[in-house]
Each structure stands twice: as structure tokens, then as C-alpha cells.
Chains A and B, each alone.
Chain A
């Protein structure tokens, strides 16, 4: 249902986004020596995108591209260097930590590692209730009832209430993590590689569950993953990141049917084939990802791009809309509408 609604949102570009990130930067200082100025790792270097209501926005890219840092920055788990993030018409980067508390209730996160994200000394019931008591939701009995209801929502049962995290498998722990995020009835859930550590058959169960929850709770996901297959499957729109920059944004369909940015093309062509008989043409990228300490001038991808020209080495390409829902930051599409 939310999928249809999303399609509607996109066609009317005037629709208000639920979350709007503008020009977000996250630079980490690196000390070089007593008298030398600090260097900066430019982990996220000016990223802007909108998250619509009920939408799943996938964020893909290879390790070190800044996708996780971006997710954490949006929820202020790391304070941003620069940029703004609007949620309900308010720049949540400008609120005080105390004010931010009420936003955090609506902006939740689920992490990759199902082992380190649950306190091993607490019972599952307490883990889930703690979140609600911090935010002052309900009295003790109401919280317990809610936790049991949530456990059932994520495919566990009330008998798991008194168990410890170590008694669960990886897949079940991710269900608990989802339940914890849901306990505050959030609007946006940032999923950082939530299914990446799971076995294939378990991953499928959790993905189906996440889709069901999205409908039932009317959620928007920011779904961060390196796995293109998973992202394509769950996302409405996808953003591709490279070296701290968002190089392409399109609907899931468009991105895989007609990738525009040379990096996206290479990324998709590198996927293993699904049928051994099919011959696949690969776009081979030369070299390695440059260091974010010293990103290349101009377009961040020019050092590996097969189509790079002079302008790519000098001028940073702006993000252009080339069709209604398709944006790309590449000089190749200069002037194309």
C-alpha cells in the first residue's frame, strides 16, 4: 500500500519529504603532528536527498564510501560537520540534545551486528522496556503488554520475554533489534546493513518481516547496504555513494534498467551472474578507491572513470535531474534534460 502511495509522492514532486538532508558533511580530523594543521577524512562530502513518507530509500556503495557515516550523522549519533537535516520542518541538527530526544523517538536505527547491539546482561523484556521507560511511555504494566505484543509482531513469542540475548540465533536477535526500534513507534528507521550478517535463508525471513512491518507501522526506511540484490528488492528509490558523494539517485527500477553514472554501471556489471550459461560483459575499473583524506579534484570518480575528460578533473559535477526521478552527478550528462 505504501508503495503505491510512494509512487504518487514521486510523481508530485511538490509533495513534502518526511526527511530532507541538504549538503551534509562529516569530516573527521586526523592529527598529523604537533605543529602541522589537522588533516580531514572527508567521509561524507556534501550529500543531499529526500526521504518521502512511506518510502524505502536504499543507500548503496562499497566499503568506505561513507554510507554508514551518513546514516549515523542523520540521527546525530555523530555530530555533523556541516549541513542540515529537516524533519517536520525543523532542522534537527540545530536542536539541543534535550530537544532532539523527542525526534529520536521517531527516528530509530537498527545496526548490522546482531551480537554487539544487545546488552548480554539484560533479559530481552528489559532491553525492550528500557527504551520505552527512557522516553516515558506508559506505566510498567502497559510497557510489558506492549513488549509482548511487539515480540509477536516480529515473529517471536511471549515465552522469549525472560530470555537472554545469547539464547537467540543471529536472525532472532535482528528481530529483537527491530522490535526495539518499533517500541517507540518511529516514523523513520535507519537500517544499517541489517541483514548482511545473516545466512541466506534467514536473511529472506527477516527481509519479508521488514516489508510487512513497513506496511503495518507505516514506516519509512533508510536502508543502507552493500548488497545490490537486497537493496533492489526492498527499496523504492536508491542512492549510489562513492567516496562521500551521492553520485546517482533513481527509482530501483530505473537504476538497474538504465544506470547513468559510470560508477553505477561498473558496480552493476560486477555483480555475479545468476545463470552460469550467460556470458556477462564486465566494465573493469582500474585502480583503487582514492583516500578520503585527499579526495581527487573535480569529480571524485575521475581517477577510475573510463570516460574522464579535462572538465572532470577540474570541476565538481553538480547533481542534475535527467528525468523526473533520476538524478546524476556526472559531466557526461551536462545539458541533457
Chain B
């Protein structure tokens, strides 16, 4: 299985040149996705989850961006490919869907035309054959009366409907990898449930790998097979979804899970909070990046950056004290450190 990773990201670093100097938005990130697998990438704003996906798609402005590392896809390193080759991969072998469907669809063309365009851009297909393929893929997304919908413009469709069209458009060329960047964040829960079902079903039907970017742990529990939790440009925990929800090891992951009110939270108790806020990327801490907010931080954490270690099989964590925290022998130095 390991030989057949759909995508293998190795030690990816992404640097931006800004007015304030060089900023490293993604720092030494490695992960892989297999066929018929959904990898969840979780984190809060600014953790580098979207930049990672844009690096894979090579959507970042090359004038202000530097990369290090490798992104191996189909035996090729995407970081060294020319624009010609990339544009043949983008939208065909790797597709992407976004949060904001309104700005991702062209308001001046019918959705049918836009799906046909995607097909024709990537191969010599007659318009008739392309139209048939479009109808087939749109029907597969479960849209009622697909023939009629294909003739409509984006503004005539609801948000959930537009996201289905986006998915149809992404899948019409039968990609091997789908990158979904918060595709359900703007949707209502009932629509979200439908779209999550659809993505899971499509993953199986097309036997493709999916990178699912989200900030919502509930969505992760719902559809992901494996999870990478990111914080300030680094993967701090990487695990199967079962293992992560059974025993999260990194204090940040634990905090993220407890901070989110669910219908099971006790309304009488205060919500768990992670004190402070994410440091700026232009001022990254020297040691562990989470040390200043961590209830278990020690001098070692402040001085030395921890490495991503294998804790148990299939579960990696970037923390000096995960073992002590797991067996309860670590002491909280900043206990009750919630900010008001």
C-alpha cells in the first residue's frame, strides 16, 4: 500500500516574501494520502492548512513564494514541474473544491457549460460526449432534475446545490486526488450532512484520495479516515481518526476538541479554553510553537522544538511530554490559566 500513495508530501516548506521579511507559512509538513482514503487536515485560521493545499495545486504566486521539500504525485515532484505540465494535472488528476461557491463559479455561463469546459480543457472530447458526461456526473451527485439544472446559471441554485455542481465539476475528469477546502463551512447542517455523504460515496466510487481541510472536529469524526492536526505551520499530531478521538495526545488537539461546544457539553461548566492566541508567523517561538499556550510547558519546551515522534502505531505527535501527559504524571504549570 505504501508504494501506491496517491500523493506524498515530504518535508514541505513554504516561504512568503512579505514587506516584513520572509515568513514561513508551512514548515516541514509531511503526509500522504492513499486511494479510497480521506485525510482530514484540521486547524484554526493561520495554521497553514489552506497554504498546504494551494502548494499542492501550485496556486501560489511564484514571484513571492519559495518552496522546499517534495510533493510527489504520480511519480513526479509537483514543485519542479513546468506550468504546461501543471495545467494538465490541475483540474484533471487533482481537483479542488472551495468554501465559497459563489465566487468559484462563473456567473455568466450556465453550470452545464462550465462542466463541459472542464472536460474539453483536458481532452479532445466532442461537445455532445462532454454534455453526456456532464449529465452523468451531475446525476451522480443526486441533484433532482439534472437536465434542467445544467441549463441554469449559478445564481438560480441554492448554496448546497452549487456545492454539488462544484463537486460534479471537480469529479468529471475522474481525478485521483480531490482537495476539499472547507466545502461545508458555509452550509447549513442538514445540507452539510448531505454533502459529506456525497463526498464519502464519491471517494468510494472513484477510488480516489481526498484531502479534507476543516476546522470542525465533528466533520472529521464524520468522514475522515486519518487526521493531521496543524498548528502554526506544522503538523503537531497525525493519526487514524479512531485513535485520535479515543486518545488525543497533543495538548492542542485536546484543547481543540474540548473547546467546541457540542450538544453533549455540560451547560453549567465553563468551556475549556486555550489561553492566549496563535502567535504571529513573523514571530515564531524558538522551541515548541504551542509552549506559551500549553498548560504543561516546561523549560525544555520553550528552548527546544519537539520532533514529530511515533507514539503508537499509526499515531504521531509533536510534543516532548505526550507520554507523561497521557499517563497523568505531567503537572500543569499554567493551571487555571484561562484568560478572561
Spot the interface stretch: A47-55, A90-98, A110-118, A269-277.
A269-277
Q: Is B19 an interface position by the 8 A CB rule? A: no
Which of A17-25, A130-138, A207-215 lies at the interface with chain B? A207-215
Question: For residue A211, which residues in chain B have a CB less than 8 angstroms away from its CB?
Answer: 270
Interface assignment of B80: CB less than 8 Å from any CB of chain A = no
Which of B10-18, B98-106, B213-221 participates in binding chain A?
Answer: B213-221
The contact string, 1 if C-beta is below 8 Å from chain A, for chain B 168-206, is 000000000000000000001111111010000000000
Q: Mark B89-127, 1 if CB is under 8 A from A, else 0.
A: 000000000000000000000000000000000000000
In the complex, identify which listed stretch (A226-234, A318-326, A327-335) lies at the interface while the others stay far away. A226-234
Given that A267-B189, A276-B221, A276-B245 are contacting pairs, would A229 and B262 also be in contact in the complex, using a CB cutoff of 8 Å?
yes
Instruction: Encode B226-243 as 1/0 by CB contact (under 8 A) with A.
Output: 000000000000000110
Task: State which of B22-30, B132-140, B253-261, B297-305 sits at the interface with chain A.
Answer: B253-261
A199-218 toward B: CB 8 Å interface, digit per residue (1/0)?
11111110111011000000
- Give the residues in chain A near B265, CB-CB below 8 Å: 229, 232-233
B261 to A230, Cβ gap below 8 A? yes
Chain A CB within 8 A of B152 CB:
no
B63: which A residues are within 8 A, CB to CB? none
Q: Which residue of A lies closest to B44 (CB)?
A: A199
B20 to chain A, nearest CB (A): 16
Q: How far is the CA of A229 from the CA of B259 in the complex (A)?
A: 11
Contact partners of A287 in chain B: CB under 8 A: 144
Chain A contact residues, majority secondary structure: helix
CB <8 Å contact, B339 and A205: yes
Residue of B with least CB distance to A175 = B340
Task: Kindly state whether residue B313 has any CB partner on chain A within 8 Å.
Answer: no
Given that A155-B339, A270-B189 are contacting pairs, would A204 and B272 also be in contact in the complex, using a CB cutoff of 8 Å?
A: yes
Contact, CB under 8 Å: A63 / B188: yes
Closest to B340 in A: A155
Is B68 an interface residue when CB atoms closer than 8 A count as contact?
Answer: no
Within 8 Å CB of A125, what residues of B? none
Interface string of A233-254 (1 = CB under 8 A from B): 1100000000000000000100
When distances are taken between beta carbons in the complex, the residues of chain A under 8 Å from B338 are: 205, 208
The total of chain A residues at the interface (CB under 8 A) is 44
Question: Measured between C-beta atoms, what is the minimum distance from A250 to chain B in Å?
Answer: 13
Q: Is the CB of A272 within 8 A of B267?
A: no
- Cα of A2 to Cα of B263 in the assembled complex, Å: 21
Is residue B76 contacting chain A, with contact meaning CB distance below 8 A? Answer: no
For the complex, give the distance between the alpha carbons of A229 and B219 in Å. Answer: 13
B327 within 8 A of A: no
Q: Which residues of A contact B216 (CB under 8 A)?
A: 272
Partner of A200, one of B191, B194, B220, B260: B260
Q: A63-B188, A228-B189 are in contact. List 10 more A-B contacts (CB 8 A).
A: A200-B217, A204-B261, A207-B261, A208-B270, A230-B261, A232-B262, A232-B265, A267-B189, A268-B263, A274-B262
Q: Which A residues form the contact surface with B (CB < 8 A)?
A: 3, 62-63, 155, 169, 171, 199-205, 207-209, 211-212, 226, 228-230, 232-234, 252, 256, 266-268, 270-277, 282, 284-285, 287-289
A-B contact pairs, 29 of them (CB 8 A): A62-B189, A62-B190, A63-B159, A199-B44, A200-B256, A200-B260, A201-B274, A204-B273, A207-B261, A209-B340, A212-B340, A229-B218, A229-B265, A232-B261, A233-B261, A234-B261, A234-B267, A252-B267, A268-B263, A270-B189, A272-B196, A272-B222, A273-B222, A276-B220, A276-B245, A282-B193, A285-B190, A287-B144, A288-B158
